[in-house]
């Protein structure tokens, strides 16, 4: 039995998740949060950046793995290094900028400087150190495992984490579907980022990314406004052909393909786009890609949405504070007008001042407050338990309003937090 010391003493982590319900401690206990950092964020694969954000030699971006600051750095050899942002002298972060291009990271404290794969280049006044002082051992520490899939870069601090592709399983097919919408075979990030912080646990956001139950209620006013503007009635999720799918290893999908939401408006350049897709992928795959409308959680911190062309990343700050970054992306080879139209959906729906996301953030903060109540211990995730179906690839499928996705997330959470994995 896996135990950690919790707010009221000893906690058996594996007793906090049962079939169809999870304990409130998952959201409010700081020591459960510490254990999550160790087991989930430092023990497994975590999304860190998109390759196109640091496409040129010398490009870098600062970010986090869990709570540890990192620099994502493109070396002149083309390789991406994930460097721990901590000077090997006395610990200061060596890079404070969000992004840029540089040949070296120079620590502001005593001037030690490192190249963009972390090797220590300069120690001022080196005669102050003895003969046994070995600069070759004092390079920035780096994540031992870095791999990318279709441009999405993941890193792990655990040298024994295993192959990224294996961890992704069938989630990789969904990413293929999303990225194949680009006639050039790649997506590109370059239209900025939306950032916001909410006062709630990080899992409130990831379970919401794949929650098809809440939109009609949480976003009622946004849908009413859209209906007034466009004359279109908001479609009800109830009875929709859309599906919620739990993918092995904690990944999860809402698949709206075939539902009215999937009918994307066409615009200028649509015929050329169609032709470009067909010439790259063939008619059948082009049709499959165009008809698809998917949004996927890649456990534990990445969400990608095809309809609206953006991805979001969650950064846990503390047990009750979380930052979200949302990035619009462009389809390489797509028309500029089309890319702008699709990416603008991020602005009006999922930005900090959009019509959708603020409603969700309000819900998260209400959950965080409500979960302080100790006399009601459990959150229910049992919706659709009686009608879920397991596929041959290990995925579990339910109605889009069912909590099958959250059950998959917490099954993985439990396996990672205990010795089940
Ligand atoms: Fe970086 Fe001293 S802490 S040079
Ligand atoms: Fe929402």
- pLDDT value of position 237: 63
CA of 235 to the centre of ligand 1 (A): 58
pTM, 2 dp: 0.95
- pLDDT value of position 8: 47
* Position 235 pLDDT exceeds 70: no
Q: Render pLDDT for 10-63 as a digit per residue (tens, 0 to 9).
A: 678 889 999 999 999 999 999 999 999 999 999 999 999 999 999 999 999 999
* H or E element that contains 189: strand 187-189
Which atom in ligand 1 lies closest to the alpha carbon of residue 110? Answer: 4
* Ligand 1 pocket by Cβ (under 6 Å): 87, 89-92, 107, 109-112
* Position 263 pLDDT exceeds 50: no
**Could you tell me the pLDDT band of residue 161, with boundaries at 50, 70 and 90?**
very high
Closest residue by Cα to residue 249 from 315, 326, 172: 172
- pLDDT value of position 4: 65
Q: Render pLDDT for 82-134 as a digit per residue (tens, 0 to 9).
A: 999 999 999 999 999 999 999 999 999 999 999 999 999 999 999 999 999 99
**197 in Cβ contact with 323 (< 8 Å):** yes
CA of 96 to the centre of ligand 1 (A): 14
Closest residue by Cα to residue 53 from 93, 80, 87: 80
**Percent of all residues in the chain with a pLDDT value above 70, rounded to a whole number:** 93
Q: Determine the Cα–Cα distance for residues 107 and 33; give it in Å rounded to an integer.
A: 31
Closest ligand to the CA of 90: 1
- pLDDT value of position 10: 62
Q: Render pLDDT for 324-382 as a digit per residue (tens, 0 to 9).
A: 999 999 999 988 888 888 778 888 888 888 889 999 999 999 999 999 999 999 999 99
Residue 261's Cβ-count burial label (10 Å; 0-12, 13-18, 19+) is middle
Q: Render pLDDT for 361-374 as a digit per residue (tens, 0 to 9).
A: 999 999 999 999 99
Look at ligand 1, atom 2, and give the residue with the nearest C-alpha: 110
Pocket test for ligand 1, best of 110, 113, 128 (most atoms within 8 A of CB): 110
Within 10 angstroms of residue 173's Cβ, the number of other Cβ atoms is 13
Structure tokens at 235: 């479609």
Q: Render pLDDT for 273-310 as a digit per residue (tens, 0 to 9).
A: 899 999 999 999 999 999 999 999 999 999 999 988 99
Query: 65-70: long-range contacts at Cβ-Cβ below 8 A with a sequence spacing of 24 or more?
Result: 65/41, 65/143, 65/155, 65/157, 66/37, 66/41, 66/42, 66/316, 67/37, 67/41, 67/316, 67/317, 68/42, 68/157, 69/93, 70/143, 70/155
43 or 259: which carries more pLDDT confidence?
43
- pLDDT value of position 236: 60
Q: Render pLDDT for 313-324 as a digit per residue (tens, 0 to 9).
A: 999 999 999 999
Average of pLDDT values for 63-90? 97
């Amino acid at each position: 039995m896996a135990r950690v010391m919790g707010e009221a003493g000893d906690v058996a982590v594996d007793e906090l998740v049962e079939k169809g319900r999870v304990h409130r401690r998952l959201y409010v206990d700081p020591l459960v949060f510490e254990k999550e950092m160790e087991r989930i964020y430092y023990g497994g694969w975590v999304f860190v950046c998109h390759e196109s954000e640091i496409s040129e030699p010398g490009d870098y971006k600062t970010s986090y793995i869990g709570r540890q600051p990192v620099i994502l750095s493109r070396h002149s050899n083309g390789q991406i290094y994930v460097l721990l942002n901590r000077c090997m002298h006395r610990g200061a972060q060596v890079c404070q900028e969000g992004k840029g291009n540089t040949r070296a990271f120079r620590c502001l404290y005593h001037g030690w400087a490192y190249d963009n794969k972390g090797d220590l280049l300069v120690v001022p006044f080196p005669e102050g150190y003895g003969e046994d002082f070995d600069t070759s051992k004092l390079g920035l520490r780096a994540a031992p495992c870095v791999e990318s899939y279709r441009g999405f870069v993941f890193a792990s601090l655990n040298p024994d984490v295993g192959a990224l592709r294996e961890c992704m399983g069938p989630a990789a097919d969904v990413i293929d579907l999303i990225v194949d919408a680009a006639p050039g075979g790649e997506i590109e990030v370059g239209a900025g980022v939306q950032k916001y912080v909410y006062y709630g646990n990080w899992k409130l956001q990831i379970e919401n990314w794949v929650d098809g139950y809440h939109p009609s209620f949480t976003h009622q006013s946004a849908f009413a406004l859209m209906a007034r503007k466009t004359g279109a009635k908001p479609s009800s999720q109830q009875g929709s052909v859309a599906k919620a799918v739990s993918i092995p290893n904690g990944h999860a999908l809402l698949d709206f393909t075939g539902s009215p939401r999937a009918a994307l408006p066409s615009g200028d350049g649509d015929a050329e786009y169609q032709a470009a897709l067909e010439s790259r992928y063939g008619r059948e795959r082009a049709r499959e890609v165009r008809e698809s409308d998917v949004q996927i959680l890649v456990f534990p911190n990445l969400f990608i949405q095809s309809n609206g062309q953006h991805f979001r990343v969650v950064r846990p700050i503390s047990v009750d504070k979380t930052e979200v970054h949302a990035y619009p992306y462009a389809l390489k080879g797509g028309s500029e007008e089309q890319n702008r139209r699709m990416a603008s959906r991020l602005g009006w729906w999922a930005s900090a001042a959009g019509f959708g996301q603020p409603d969700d953030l309000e819900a998260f903060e209400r959950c965080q407050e409500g979960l302080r109540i100790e006399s009601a211990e459990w959150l229910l995730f049992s919706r659709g338990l009686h009608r879920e179906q397991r596929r041959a690839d290990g995925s579990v499928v339910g109605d889009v309003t069912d909590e099958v996705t959250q059950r998959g997330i917490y099954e993985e959470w439990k396996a990672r937090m205990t010795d089940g994995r």
